[in-house]
């Protein structure tokens, strides 16, 4: 049996963690006071949309690839890919077959993987590697040597994906996976490359009266409870708890230069969603 009380090498918090219950709110609160170390503070996570970019083929993907290549010497990038129309097809087949959310996640991951693999073929001549989650420990090396790596955007939850509160589509998909990569590494930026200029009051593809929202707090956006969003709701919910990422930016990958502008720090492009509780607006 362990006797931890006499152990002089444990910190005060360590003793409470070892002896107490991890579900005790007081112990959880005590962990707030520990420092926040950013693992890769110079890296930018860039998510390339599935339906919005990859499914369009060369006309949309080639300019984005050119822009990535032009930025390789200027900005370090983790490039995550979305899934898109094949995921929608496989989700609808699997839902019809009565399969659970965890199985849909495994299926959707394969589609994001295909897109990541295609993107990597296009960037291979520049020495860009594709890393599975298991390969992430070597990610810093590739970023230092080549400026970018590619990964598929889905979080590796597989069968362990939790159910949504409504419906049967996995709630945590590639927007969420890329956001959590940015959060855990303490990234400089989280940029989503889609086929719209950012967030609108409704789906601009369907509603001509939809109005562009250039900048909004995540609190305000959640309070508006919009019927449709440019980003997975799970990202907005995670933003409220995130310690490192206080804002995310959406740019239009069909308009050359927007990604570069966002990487350079221009927040007038697209839409910025920020956490009003942690982001100091005067520090823009």
Nearer to other proteins, 67 or 183 (CB): 183
State in angstroms the smallest separation of the CB of 284 from other proteins: 23
Nearer to other proteins, 62 or 284 (CB): 62
Nearer to other proteins, 72 or 95 (CB): 95
Q: 264 Cβ partners below 8 Å, 6+ apart?
A: none
State in angstroms the smallest separation of the CB of 283 from other proteins: 21
Q: Which of residues 96-135 bind other proteins (CB under 8 A)?
A: 97-103, 106, 133
Specify the 3-state DSSP secondary structure of 179. Answer: helix
Give me the DSSP letters along 78-136. Answer: EEEE---HHHHHHHHHHHHTT--HHHHHHHHHHHHHHHHHHHHHHHGGGT-EE--GGGG
State in angstroms the smallest separation of the CB of 116 from other proteins: 16
State in angstroms the smallest separation of the CB of 82 from other proteins: 10
Q: Which of residues 183-242 bind other proteins (CB under 8 A)?
A: 183-186, 195, 203, 205-206, 227-233, 238, 240-242
Residue 267 to residues 149, 230, 273, 284: CA-CA distances in angstroms?
24, 17, 10, 8
Q: Which of residues 240-279 bind other proteins (CB under 8 A)?
A: 240-244, 254
Q: Which of 230, 240, 227 is nearest to 277 (CA)?
A: 240
Q: Which of residues 133-172 bind other proteins (CB under 8 A)?
A: 133, 136, 155-169
Distance of CA 229 to the CA centre of its chain: 15
Q: Among 70, 93, 144, 277, indicate the residue that binds other proteins (CB under 8 A).
A: 93
Nearer to other proteins, 71 or 200 (CB): 200
Measured between alpha carbons, how far apart are the two ends of the chain, in Å?
Answer: 54
Nearer to other proteins, 191 or 238 (CB): 238
Nearer to other proteins, 130 or 185 (CB): 185
Q: Which of 37, 77, 46 is nearest to 186 (CA)?
A: 37
Nearer to other proteins, 146 or 186 (CB): 186
**What is the C-alpha to C-alpha distance for residues 195 and 229, in angstroms, rounded to an integer?**
13
Segment interacting with other proteins, rule: CB under 8 A, options 112-120, 140-148, 177-185, 261-269: 177-185
- Within 10 angstroms of residue 103's Cβ, the number of other Cβ atoms is 16
Q: Which of residues 50-69 bind other proteins (CB under 8 A)?
A: 51-52, 55-57, 59-60
Residue 206 to residues 72, 192, 227, 238, 253: CA-CA distances in angstroms?
36, 21, 13, 28, 20
State in angstroms the smallest separation of the CB of 214 from other proteins: 19
Q: Which of residues 20-49 bind other proteins (CB under 8 A)?
A: 21-32, 34-37, 39
Contact 232, 171 (CB under 8 A): yes
């Amino acid at each position: 049996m362990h006797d931890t009380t006499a152990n002089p090498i444990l910190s005060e918090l360590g003793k409470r963690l070892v002896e107490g219950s991890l579900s005790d709110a007081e112990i959880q609160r005590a962990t707030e006071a520990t420092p926040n170390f950013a693992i890769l503070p110079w890296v930018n996570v860039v998510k390339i949309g599935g339906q919005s970019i990859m499914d369009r083929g060369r006309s949309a993907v080639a300019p984005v690839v050119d822009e990535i290549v032009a930025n390789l010497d200027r900005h370090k990038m983790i490039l995550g890919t979305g899934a898109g129309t094949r995921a929608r097809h496989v989700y609808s087949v699997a839902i019809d077959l009565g399969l659970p959310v965890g199985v849909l996640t495994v299926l959707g991951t394969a589609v994001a993987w295909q897109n990541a693999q295609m993107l990597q073929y296009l960037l291979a001549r520049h020495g860009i590697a594709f890393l599975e989650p298991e390969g992430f420990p070597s990610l810093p090396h590739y970023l230092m040597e080549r400026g970018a790596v590619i990964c598929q955007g889905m979080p590796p939850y597989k069968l362990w994906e939790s159910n949504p509160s409504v419906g049967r589509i996995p709630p945590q998909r590639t927007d969420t996976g890329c956001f959590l990569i940015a959060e855990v590494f303490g990234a400089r930026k989280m940029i989503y490359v889609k086929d719209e200029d950012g967030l609108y009051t409704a789906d601009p593809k369907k509603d001509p009266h939809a109005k562009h929202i250039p900048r909004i707090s995540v609190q305000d956006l959640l309070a508006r409870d919009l019927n449709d969003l440019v980003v997975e709701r799970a990202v907005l919910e995670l933003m409220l708890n995130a310690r490192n990422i206080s804002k995310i930016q959406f740019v239009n990958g069909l308009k050359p230069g927007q990604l570069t502008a966002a990487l350079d720090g221009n927040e007038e492009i697209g839409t910025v969603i920020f956490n009003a509780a942690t982001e100091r607006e005067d520090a823009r």
